[in-house]
């Protein structure tokens, strides 16, 4: 009885509070706040980093190192003819081994809407053919130079199996703005689902990316590759291009934290080891090199790591034992939490 009496005013108070809250939200028009309160779900904090116009002999490798330092993934749109001039298959595979993705950005960076049908086909098909020769797959996505596209361009791309990837933040760092100005432009537009456009042909992309990853750290934001650019049957198609004596290739598919353990899984392939047995290694908490184990018959691996620091990305590589070629880096990865 005593309980019922004391509960009643509390309920009424709650009802009044709810009414006032809803009223306040309604009249102030705070739709986003009310939406968050209603759904109660976490705000989406996914960001897609994209880099166009590479590869550059100096800036692209530096950019890759910076991404590793933060354990984040990105999607690259290199220009076809630059790729042909500057990178070999091993370089492009290195980008993929680290967990980044790849799209088509035309052959010579022309305005695609101004091309004849034949030239349009040439601009779009030639890079895809080159990428297929180097990696075993044709890109599933493309980005039109200058974003210049119409139905004719989109249809031609679709016939070649590619979807267009737009962007939502473009600080135009190639115009050489002050870093603070570029950061102001970026910060105003930084939100869940945003696609940031930078260029790995300009130096300024490096300090800007550094600043972005410090201001919007990977501990709070989830950096992902563009889903449309994902490679179908990646292990199978990429492995099909490798020959005896080639450097192994691979990919870390999952880094998942369960209690005090980090479970890492992925695949690694070397035609010199047709039955698997490739050694996978990682850098422990103190930077000490540790062997995790070997790939199985299907060229896959899954290991539990207990020696890790939760704030530091875990870095893995394949040891190419017995061959005079260097080891294959599998990138540095942040854990997803269970």
* Distance of closest approach, residue 67 Cβ to Zn ion, in angstroms: 19
CA dist 19 and 306 (Å) reads 50
Among 47, 48, 51, 52, binds Zn ion (CB under 5 A): 52
User: Which residues does 214 contact at the CB level (< 8 Å), separation at least 6?
Assistant: none
- CB of 83: closest distance to Zn ion in angstroms? 13
94 part of the active site: no
| Shortest reach from residue 170's CB to Zn ion, in Å | 11
Give the integer Cα–Cα distance in Å for 138 and 161.
8
- Interface region with Zn ion, contact rule CB under 5 A, candidates 49-57, 115-123, 156-164, 255-263: 49-57
* From 70, 100, 105, 199, the catalytic residue: 199
3-state helix, strand, coil in the chain (%, to 5): 40, 25, 40
Determine the Cα–Cα distance for residues 132 and 109; give it in Å rounded to an integer: 19
Residues 92-131 binding Zn ion (CB under 5 A) are: none
Cβ at position 116, least distance to Zn ion in Å: 21
Q: Looking only at residues 299 through 338 of this chain, which bind Zn ion when binding is defined by CB under 5 A?
A: none
The CA distances from residue 221 to 212, 218, 331, in Å, are: 11, 5, 19
Beta bridge partners of 101: 75
Q: Which stretch binds Zn ion (CB under 5 A): 29-37, 138-146, 151-159, 186-194?
A: 138-146
200 near Zn ion, rule: CB under 5 A: no
Of residues 49, 53, 226, 264, which one binds Zn ion by CB under 5 A?
Answer: 53
In sequence order, what are the beta bridge partners of 76?
A: 51, 102
Stretch that binds Zn ion, among 47-55, 60-68, 266-274, 283-291 (CB under 5 A): 47-55
Number of residue whose CB is nearest Zn ion: 52
Q: CA 323 to CA 259: how far, in whole Å?
A: 38
Q: Catalytic annotation on 56? A: no
When the beta carbons of 54 and 331 are compared against Zn ion, the nearer one is: 54
Give whichever of 103 and 145 is closer to Zn ion, judged by the CB atom: 145
Choose between 52 and 246: whose C-beta lies nearer to Zn ion. Answer: 52
Q: Write the DSSP assignment of 167-217 as a string of letters.
A: -SB---GGG---HHHHHHHHHHH--TTEEEEEETTSTTHHHHHHHHHHHS-
Positions that interact with Zn ion (CB under 5 A): 52-53, 145
Active site residues: 52, 199
């Amino acid at each position: 009885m005593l309980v019922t009496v004391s509960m009643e005013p509390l309920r009424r108070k709650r009802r009044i509070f709810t009414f006032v809250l809803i009223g306040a939200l309604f009249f102030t028009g705070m739709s986003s706040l009310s939406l968050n309160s209603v759904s109660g779900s976490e705000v989406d904090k996914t960001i897609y980093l994209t880099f166009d116009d590479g590869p550059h002999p100096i800036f692209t490798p530096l950019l890759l190192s910076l991404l590793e330092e933060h354990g984040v993934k990105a999607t690259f749109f290199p220009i076809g003819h630059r790729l042909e001039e500057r990178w070999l298959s091993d370089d492009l595979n290195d980008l993929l081994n680290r967990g980044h993705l790849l799209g088509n950005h035309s052959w010579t960076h022309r305005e695609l809407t101004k091309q004849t049908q034949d030239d349009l086909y040439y601009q779009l098909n030639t890079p895809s053919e080159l990428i297929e020769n180097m990696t075993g797959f044709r890109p599933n996505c493309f980005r039109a130079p200058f974003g210049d596209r119409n139905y004719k361009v989109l249809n031609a791309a679709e016939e070649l199996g590619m979807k267009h990837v737009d962007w939502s933040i473009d600080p135009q760092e190639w115009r050489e703005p002050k870093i603070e100005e570029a950061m102001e432009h970026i910060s105003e537009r930084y939100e869940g689902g945003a696609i940031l456009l930078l260029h790995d042909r300009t130096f300024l992309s490096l300090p800007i990316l550094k600043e972005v990853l410090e201001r919007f750290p990977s501990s709070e934001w989830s950096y992902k590759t563009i889903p449309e650019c994902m490679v179908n049957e990646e292990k199978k198609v990429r492995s099909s291009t490798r020959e005896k004596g080639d450097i192994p290739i691979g990919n870390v598919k999952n880094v998942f934290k369960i209690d005090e353990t980090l479970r890492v899984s992925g695949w690694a392939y070397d035609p010199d080891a047709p039955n698997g047995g490739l050694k996978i290694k990682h850098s422990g908490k103190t930077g000490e090199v540790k062997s995790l184990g070997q790939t199985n018959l299907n060229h896959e691996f899954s290991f539990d790591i207990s020696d890790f620091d939760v704030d530091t990305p875990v870095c893995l590589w394949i040891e190419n034992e017995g061959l005079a070629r260097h080891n294959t880096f599998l990138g540095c990865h942040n854990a997803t939490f269970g």
